[in-house]
Structure 1
Amino acid sequence: MKNLFRYSFLMLAISAMLFTGCKDDSSDEAPAVNPSKVLMDHLVAIDMDLNHVIKNTDGQKFVMGAPADGNVSGKHVIDIRSTDAYNAGHIEGAVNVALPNILTEAASATKPILVVCYTGQTACYATSLLRLYGYHDAQALKWGMSGWNASTDSWSTQTDNLADGHDNWSYNATPPTPSVYDIPEFMTTAITGEAILKERVEYVLAQGFKTAKAGDVLNSPSNYYINNYFSTTDYGAFGHIDGAYRLHELLINPSSSSVSSMTNLDPSKDIITYCYTGQTSAVITAYLNVLGYDAYSLTFGMNKLFNSEDSWTVNQWGGDSNSKNLDIVQ
Structure 2
Amino acid sequence: MKSLLKFAAIFAFLPFIMLTSCSDDNDDPQPEAQDRFDVLKKYLIDNNMDISTVIDGWITTADVVYDAMTDADDANDYYIIDIRSAEDFTANRIEWAVNSTLGDILTTAEGAGGKPIIVVCYTGQTAGYGVIALRLSGYPTAKVMKWGMCSWNATTAGAWQNNIGDVAIGNANWSDAPGEITANVAQTAPKVEYITEDGAEILAGQVANMLTNGFKGITSVDVLANPDNHFINNFWAADDVTHYGNIKTAYRIKPLTLANGEYAYLDGTASIVTYCWTGQTSSMMTAYLSVLGYDAYSLKFGANSMIHTNLESHKWSDAQIMGYDLTTGGK
SS at match of 2:62: coil
Map of 2:246 onto structure 1: 240
Residues 11-55 of structure 1, C-alpha deviations (whole Å, 9 max, x = no match): xxxxxxxxxxxxxxxxxxxxx963111101111101111111111
Map of 1:280 onto structure 2: 281
1:97 corresponds, among 84, 97, 100, to 100
SS at match of 2:144: strand
Residues 230-279 of structure 1, C-alpha deviations (whole Å, 9 max, x = no match): 12111121121001111012x14x5xx35x22111111110000000000
Map of 1:77 onto structure 2: 80
Conserved in 2, the CA contact under 8 Å of 1:76 and 1:94? yes
Map of 1:322 onto structure 2: 320
Map of 1:18 onto structure 2: none
Q: What letter is aligned with 1:165?
A: G
Aligned pairs (5 A) from 1:1-330:
34-55=35-56, 61-67=57-63, 70-73=66-69, 74-110=77-113, 111-153=115-157, 154-171=159-176, 172-249=178-255, 251-252=256-257, 254=258, 257=259, 260-309=261-310, 311-313=311-313, 315-318=314-317, 321-330=319-328
TM-score, length-normalised on structure 2? 0.83
Q: Aligned equivalents of 2:195 and 2:309: distance in 1?
A: 49
Q: What letter is aligned with 2:312?
A: W
SS at match of 1:235: helix
Conserved in 2, the CA contact under 8 Å of 1:69 and 1:326? no
**Cα offset, 1:122, TM superposition:** 0.4
Conserved in 2, the CA contact under 8 Å of 1:120 and 1:143? yes
Alignment RMSD (CA, Å): 1.8
Conserved in 1, the CA contact under 8 Å of 2:187 and 2:268? yes
Q: What letter is aligned with 1:70?
A: Y
Identity %: 39
SS at match of 2:118: strand
Q: Aligned equivalents of 1:173 and 1:194: distance in 2?
A: 41
Conserved in 2, the CA contact under 8 Å of 1:70 and 1:327? no
**Cα offset, 1:88, TM superposition:** 1.3
Stretches of structure 1 that go unaligned for 5 or more consecutive residues are 1-31, 56-60
Cα 1:189–1:69 change in 2 (3 A) is closer
Q: Aligned equivalents of 2:90 and 2:244: distance in 1?
A: 39
**Cα offset, 1:72, TM superposition:** 4.3
Conserved in 2, the CA contact under 8 Å of 1:168 and 1:241? yes
Stretches of structure 2 that go unaligned for 5 or more consecutive residues are 1-32, 70-76
SS at match of 1:296: strand
**Cα offset, 1:174, TM superposition:** 4.9
Q: Which runs of 4+ in 1 moved over 3 A?
A: none
In the alignment of these two chains, the number of paired residues is 287
